[in-house]
Amino acid sequence: MIPFVMPKQSLGLQYPQVFAEFFAGIGLMRMGLEQTGWEVAYANDIDSDKKEMYEAHFGNTENTFHLGDIRHINSQSIPYVTLATASFPCNDLSLAGSRTGLAGKQSSAYWGFIKIIESLGRRRPLLILLENVIGFLNSNGGKDFEEALLALNRLGYLTDAFVINAARFVPQSRVRLFVIGYMPGFCEEETTKETPSFYECETRPKALAEFIFTHPEINWRMRDFPPLPMRATTLRDILEDLPQNDCNWWSCERTNYLIEQMSAKHRDQLFEMSRRRKYSYGTVFRRVRKGKSMAELRSDGIAGCLRTPRGGSGRQILVKAGYGNVQARLLTPRECARLMGADDFRISVSMNQALFGFGDAVCVPVIAWIAQNYINPLLKELQSKHEITAYETRGKYAIA
């Protein structure tokens, strides 16, 4: 384990709310953290198209955004930060992906992140925030998640994990697994319990609670959360007001073909929506079922999880039904931005590029809520602990 050296900021000063975002994408992690007082000092991503979107919104990032593979970053170029975030690729962890796990071509970039944190040595950040799909929890029978957390432990971080669905904030079902790692105060107490039910709560569902209970070798430190908010918006609220004759709406032939791809149950559901004397809305994904392309309808006022539009199946379709009529079209980039809580994001790229950017991103209000209710209070507590320890043990511990 690398010894942690308290930075000078801990002696009578606040830890600066500055962070480095790895796998920065189009910058939605930054948007969420900035809402709660954080300032970006360093950003990295390998995708030039996402960097283009990032800069279109945030302006010139010449001094902060470094384009390139995380595995080839020189750690000397990374300034001191209090928090490092990593929303690393989910391709090999997702149920829709290859399931090769952290050994896969894309998701193995996590080890590049660990290498960077390790190479920072005594400059490594006080806090870590990871984000990925829920499939990370059971990838390779749970081995990937176990190894990922043990790697943080070896670097001196205590770890916590929780699950949040963005549907509590925006009308999009987007379940994500989060991990917090933090450097403890020197007098940190153990927290162990005898049953998995102790860990189970709104943000730690049964599967995660059982993982925590069955992996005591991981250095866990759980914190309590306030209740998650109740979403106040529906799919209708984020839609652009496009005229009936707008070119985005599909032709009758294309719409009918979509309806023909639905199961009898979903066609009946859509027919019932069309009979109402009002407009109602749903979303559709095309999926391959038993070798056949099927269109699956969702009409509960929540969009399905935004995804990158690879091969066409990731494109989410909007249906509008009422007064005896059904219309269909793709969700627009602006609607996707709103589903991610990035309502005012500046969009100046093609639809396909925008959908890739938002499909790979984090939900802004979720990140802001985590910062406000977990990261910021934890930082304040650690500040207090480290100040006391520095005062009581001055001369026993090196000061950076």
Find tokens 């107490």 and name the residue.
189
Start-to-end CA distance of the chain, whole Å, equals 17
Residues 109 and 90 sit within 8 Å (Cβ to Cβ): no
Looking at residue 93, what is its pLDDT? 58
pLDDT at 371 over 70: yes
User: What are the structure tokens assigned to 91, written together?
Assistant: 């391709």
Q: Is the pLDDT of residue 396 over 50?
A: no
Do the Cβ atoms of 200 and 222 come closer than 8 Å? no
Question: Does CATH place domain 8-230+359-392 in 3.40.50.300?
Answer: no
For residue 370, which of 89, 44, 19 has the smallest C-alpha distance?
Answer: 19
Q: What is the pLDDT of residues 84-119, one digit of tens each?
A: 999 987 655 555 555 556 655 555 789 999 999 999
Q: Where exactly does CATH 3.40.50.150 map onto the chain?
A: 8-230+359-392
Ranges assigned E (strand) in the chain: 18-22, 39-45, 65-67, 83-86, 127-133, 158-165, 175-182, 280-289, 292-298, 317-322, 325-330
Beta-carbon contacts of 354 under 8 Å, excluding residues fewer than 6 positions away, are 53, 333, 336, 337, 347
Q: What pTM did the predictor assign?
A: 0.89
| Chain segment 206-231, per-residue pLDDT in tens | 999 999 999 999 999 999 989 999 99
Handedness of CA 374, 375, 376, 381 (dihedral sign): positive
